[in-house]
Structure 1
Amino acid sequence: MVQPQTIDDCGLRHFSPLCQKKVIFWIYSGPDDNVFVFFTDHGAVGLVAFPTGVMVIYIEACESGSMLEGLLPANINVYGTTASSAEEPSYACYYDAKRGTYLGDVYSVAWMEDSDAEQINKESLLTQYQVAKKNTNTSHVMQYGDLNLGKSHNVSEFQGAGTQPMKPIRNPFTDRYNDLLKRDAVATVDVRVSTVVHRLDNSESAVEKAALKRELVQLLNKVQYLDYHQNH
């Protein structure tokens, strides 16, 4: 299901013909959904393009640096940061026992919590990158593209309205650090195994424990199989 959400300001913009307000469309998809994407705009040989002033992209994924490293030129008004380098996983965090899953990822939580806490109409994209890099202690946060854009544009130009409620003035590098990110983080590739281990530890049902143990054995066998074939 595609759900439109009206917003005041956003890096990805679409003008609704009904209300003439800026809206962003989220695709609420799951592992059992098929997604069809129809793209219409400008193109050329080996190229599709959508004219924008400046584009900023944050990527949270394992080996996410490989999506931009050596591929994103510095002269097309695009600035990007990634959760990890081209050769390492990103990390999940904030395990919730009630829901039986991890609620966030370290890099994503780092920049989102920064946006929540800071006056982003006065904070540059570069500063947010530096904060996320400092607070992401599980992988190497990277930046690519036109790095000058990070210095010359504020976060609010892409994540929210230019005016914000008053927030206390603080140093984002020293005044705030959530230690839970460090204690709770697990490599994204290991999330499934870690989740089952958590559920097994918290379960009080003998029947459920037996089922979870079987699931854990199956998962570990798959991990060993994949590791073997990746290294041979």
Structure 2
Amino acid sequence: MTVKYNSDMSEINTGTVTSGRCAGDVLFISKVYVTDDQDGCANSKGVDSLTARYYFVHLTGPKCGTNTCTLESARFTINPPFLYVFSMFVIMINAVPIDQHSNQPGFNGTKWVVLVAGADGWPNYASQSSVYHAYQFFHANGIPDENIIVFHPNDIAHNMANPTPGIVIDHPNGTDVYHGVPLDYTGFYDRAMMFKSVLNGSNDLMNDGRKVLNSGPNDHVFIYFIGHGGPDLILFQEGDDYLYGDDLIKLLKVMHQNKRYGKLVFYLESCDSGSMFKDQLPADINVYAITSSMWNQNSAMMYYDKRYKTMIGSFFAHYWLLNSEQADLNNETLQQQFDYIYKWTNTPGQVDVDNKTQQAQQYGDISIAKLPVSDFTGSHKSDKHLYNNIKFDINDYELVAHRDVPVFTEELESLLRGRQYVDKHMTEYVNSIQHLLTVDSNAILNTKQELNNRQCYQQLVDNYHQNCFNLNQNPYVLGKLYIFVNICEEMRESSDADINAVNQLLIQYCQQNVNNKYSQIIE
């Protein structure tokens, strides 16, 4: 539409972008300008130049939506005259600014990947199978093995319970995902300590010929962790260590300070995974994180297989890998992938006893989400992907909280007896410190408060781990750690003496009442 007034003209153009990274979005352009040669315009001789009074450009849609550009008082030379409209259209398309990260030229640095399966044993089959599938995805996308570091216990492919020795699958009728997986860090050791050493580029490990994250300030790093978690911690089973949220944040800050990455993306899949980053991950260290659930939600495993007699896949990994293998990663952004994951995992199911949902979350530098996924994962080198020919209905499969998978794999009576034993002692301990609390024991045992008093909480968890039940060997206990959160939040105004008292009473209770025969078997 064009409107002329005296020698000025207002013009509006709208239409759909047909090519480039914004293809499919709707473009709206409003222009007000005056011809510098009034006679030429009046006598139909053509326009040699014009002065732009005002330009407004706006894009809407999934690719470049909400981007806006305005321009005032600029002079353009038109040669030949009739190319004016087309030239201005191209100028405006190229002038649309987007986020500071997205406005940069295509990424030309080095891509690094760290994959971590934090849980071991047959009940945690899906933890390792998801990491194996992730490795196949990155490898197929052209990231060399020397830039992919894999942590995995490596105890399921040749496990006596495996009906297909040497083969691991992650969805029904799936193909083997174990072949070719690097044996970088396997077996049983203090994995959390090793994880930190690898990310810090340990010289000792390099001198021993081990892989480390040897990245620099222009590189992109992608980290995926899947395992058991609780409020503000994730487990690296076996060994005697676990990782608190503030320790993980300190690690990332040190990496940023030492220029070990340009941008880093962290996908974390565990129960209560949001608690690792919520209110802790800063937005100014170039880290973008996606978690499988909120701070107080379980994360689900899926695909119980009667032949394997365990859950063989995970809910979050299924959707981020499905999307990654089927989307155009050069055009899809991390934000679009997050939106996809959130949509498909935020559905009613048997995930959380309280609200029946699992809701992915994002933290840190959200502007990084404007970047193409391929800037961190590489892009498809072929059409052969593990999820290309899925022949089943996902709705036919039950979802089970990660820490409840042993219900399907262990002898049920013994399993429930061990869990009841933990519940009994946790209740008795809380009752024993009732005189130090300002609320009823029932509120401590049956609510979930958000963690703020981390120092108090970590003291209780460490004492419980050392004197009652080893967290790495008893994942069920993780689901009870919210009780320590509640105790500490209720005692935020308490004296140091009272906080010390609840710790000493915990140690004393455990030493006098906990039977060690249960400390190794409670799933």
- Structure 1 length normalisation: TM-score? 0.69
Seen in structure 2, the aligned counterparts of structure 1 residues 73 and 100 have a Cα distance that, compared at 3 Å, is same
Residue number in structure 2 paired with 1:34? 189
Residue number in structure 2 paired with 1:125? 334
RMSD: 3.1
Displacement of 1:85 in angstroms is 0.7
Look up the equivalent residue of 1:110 and give its one-letter code. Y
The question of whether the paired residues in 2 share the 8 Å contact of 1:93 and 1:181 is answered with no
DSSP 3-state at the match of 2:304: strand
DSSP 3-state at the match of 1:71: coil
2:315 matches 1:160: no
DSSP 3-state at the match of 2:113: coil
Residue number in structure 1 paired with 2:147? 23
Displacement of 1:90 in angstroms is 0.3
Displacement of 1:10 in angstroms is 3.7
Residue number in structure 1 paired with 2:360? 141
Seen in structure 2, the aligned counterparts of structure 1 residues 21 and 220 have a Cα distance that, compared at 3 Å, is closer
Aligned partner of 1:96 among 301, 305, 323: 305
The question of whether the paired residues in 2 share the 8 Å contact of 1:121 and 1:164 is answered with no
DSSP 3-state at the match of 1:65: helix
> Which entry has the higher C-alpha Rg, 1 or 2?
2
What's the CA shift string for 1:149-192, capped at 9, x where partnerless? 102x111111223x65479xxxxxxxx9x852674211112110
Q: Distance in 1 between matches of 2:294 and 2:149?
A: 28
Aligned partner of 1:188 among 398, 402, 416: 402
Seen in structure 2, the aligned counterparts of structure 1 residues 160 and 72 have a Cα distance that, compared at 3 Å, is same
The question of whether the paired residues in 1 share the 8 Å contact of 2:310 and 2:408 is answered with no
Aligned partner of 1:57 among 261, 266, 271: 266
Seen in structure 2, the aligned counterparts of structure 1 residues 12 and 35 have a Cα distance that, compared at 3 Å, is same
Q: After the TM superposition, which segments of 4 or more aligned residues of structure 1 sit over 6 Å from their partners?
A: none
The question of whether the paired residues in 2 share the 8 Å contact of 1:10 and 1:159 is answered with yes
Q: Distance in 1 between matches of 2:145 and 2:412?
A: 49
Q: Distance in 2 between matches of 1:140 and 1:70?
A: 17
The question of whether the paired residues in 1 share the 8 Å contact of 2:112 and 2:147 is answered with no
Q: Distance in 2 between matches of 1:86 and 1:182?
A: 28
Residue number in structure 2 paired with 1:84? 293
What's the CA shift string for 1:15-68, capped at 9, x where partnerless? xxxxx98521212315771245135459xxx66325201000000101011111
Look up the equivalent residue of 2:415 and give its one-letter code. L
- Structure 2 length normalisation: TM-score? 0.33
**Unmatched 5+ residue regions in structure 1?**
1-8, 14-19, 168-175, 197-214
Using CA pairs under 8 Å that are at least 6 residues apart, name the structure with larger relative contact order, 1 or 2. 1
The question of whether the paired residues in 1 share the 8 Å contact of 2:301 and 2:400 is answered with yes
2:417 matches 1:221: yes
Look up the equivalent residue of 2:416 and give its one-letter code. L
DSSP 3-state at the match of 2:363: strand
Displacement of 1:147 in angstroms is 0.7
Look up the equivalent residue of 1:185 and give its one-letter code. L
What's the CA shift string for 1:166-223, capped at 9, x where partnerless? 79xxxxxxxx9x8526742111121100334xxxxxxxxxxxxxxxxxx211111222
Residue number in structure 2 paired with 1:6? none
DSSP 3-state at the match of 2:147: strand
What's the CA shift string for 1:75-118, capped at 9, x where partnerless? 11100000111111100001222222212111111111111111
DSSP 3-state at the match of 2:301: strand
DSSP 3-state at the match of 2:322: helix
Seen in structure 2, the aligned counterparts of structure 1 residues 221 and 10 have a Cα distance that, compared at 3 Å, is farther
**Unmatched 5+ residue regions in structure 2?**
1-109, 115-143, 156-186, 203-249, 348-356, 385-389, 428-444, 446-482, 484-523
Displacement of 1:71 in angstroms is 1.0
The question of whether the paired residues in 2 share the 8 Å contact of 1:63 and 1:84 is answered with yes
The question of whether the paired residues in 2 share the 8 Å contact of 1:11 and 1:56 is answered with no
Seen in structure 2, the aligned counterparts of structure 1 residues 227 and 117 have a Cα distance that, compared at 3 Å, is farther
Residue number in structure 1 paired with 2:171? none
DSSP 3-state at the match of 1:84: coil
Seen in structure 2, the aligned counterparts of structure 1 residues 11 and 181 have a Cα distance that, compared at 3 Å, is farther
